[in-house]
Amino acid sequence: MKKEMKIGLLGLGVVATGVVERLAAQQKQIEAQTGILLSIEKALVLNPQEKAAVAKAHGFELVTNIEDITKDAEIDIVIELIGRISPAKEYILSALKNGKHVVTANKDLIAQHGKEIIAVAKEHKVGFYYEASVGGGIPLLRPLATSYAADTITSIKGIVNGTTNYMLTKMMEEQMDYQTALAQAQALGFAESDPTNDVDGIDAAYKMIILGAFAFGADLSLSDLSIQGIRHVQAADVVTAQTLGYEVKLIGEVKRVAQGITARVSPVLVPKTHPLAMIKNEYNGVFIESEGIGQSLLYGPGAGALPTATSVLSDLIEIADRAYDQQSFEAFNRKELGSPLADRSVVEENYFISVELNATPVSVDALVQSLNKQGYKVVYCALAATENRLSLIVNHVVPSAYEALLAELATQGQIQGQLGVMGDYNEN
């Protein structure tokens, strides 16, 4: 087996350029530790003229035809960093079928088409790794695949979207409203000009699909998750949350309940004493509960060129090591998919609801008494001192009962805030 492994890079944007720079900076160290020289030979780009300076500085060729990489017998490993689904999927499949190992950071692709791609990698006995697809620079997937191999995970929940965490931090700490926080996130480059995937929870949902596969062997799709973004988080509810001892966070969670695996993404009131409440701004954190280890938190930058590039390089080194030692390539995620999914209609959750009341005065005590008689467990209910706004927390509600509760509250006024609550309020 040769001691040099040659790389073809698909894309040369911010993260890909970070890979180029980190590999150049760490090349001698990597070679000293592995005995393998990793070198970028080619990069696929749309406009070679725009990227000529980077290619010249690092001594690799720019190409515009994918086959110049996938059918080049000298290329051992392909790194896909162009993003989105197409043509990334077609390019990756072509590389695998031509005997190339592949590294990607493409969470959308893994979440939607991971099974198909993994099957092709297995068929052609090549590696397919994607550590950087979740959590940017945080080592998440490899620890789940190895460190928890002898453990049983019961819950994995986290802040996995830096854009929304930055926005919610500003709303909590600087009393910004949603639009102001979004504008600032966009100005700083944390949010795209079209922030839909971030603020509507789709980005976080894709990441939880991947984490669910590693933690539980769950074969999830978007339709299996309950997904709610942060567009309707209001400043008044943020103030109430703080008063009650909570931070508001967009939380993704996959957990095991009696009926199977359940998953959701939603804005949640997180007790200030919980480790996830302490994660601010664009940082990410994943909180794991398991039978053996107990509770653990993995924390760090969830995005950015250098953190993501470092995760990509960790996959690159893993592939190079295994290929050089002529080891077989097992699937990155060793868990067999197929864990039973729970029927969401029977899964209980806790909720915070706020209502802008009609002019008619409402007796809080009478309302709570009425709701509790109907079987709801209302553990907090209060009127804001300066406005006609009712806030309540109800524990252990199934979806159908929650919808019925919203309908009843709507007769009292206009529903404003709907957030989850981590843990039982009367235990905080």
Known binding-site positions for NADPH: 107
Instruction: Indicate if 207 belongs to the active site.
Output: yes
194 Cβ contact partners less than 8 Å away, ≥ 6 residues apart: none
Dist CA 327 CA 350 (whole Å): 48
Q: Computed from CA positions of residues 116, 120, 123, 128, in that sequence, does the dihedral angle turn out positive or negative? A: negative
HSE value, Cβ hemisphere, 13 Å, CA-based, for 46: 3
Q: What are phi and psi of 44, to 5 degrees?
A: -85, 125
Do residues 420 and 266 lie in contact, with contact meaning Cβ atoms separated by under 8 Å?
Answer: yes
CB atoms within 10 A of CB 8: 28
Q: CA dihedral in degrees (126, 131, 132, 135; nearest 10)? A: 160
- Alpha carbon of residue 406 to chain centroid: 29
The one catalytic residue among 89, 207, 249, 255: 207
Q: How far is CA 109 from the centre of its chain?
A: 13
The three-state secondary structure class of 171 is helix
Binding-site residue ranges for L-homoserine: 192
The beta strand positions in 81-145, using DSSP E, are 101-104, 128-129
| CA-to-CA dists, residue 386 to 13, 202, 225, angstroms | 50, 36, 37
The residues carrying an active-site annotation are: 207
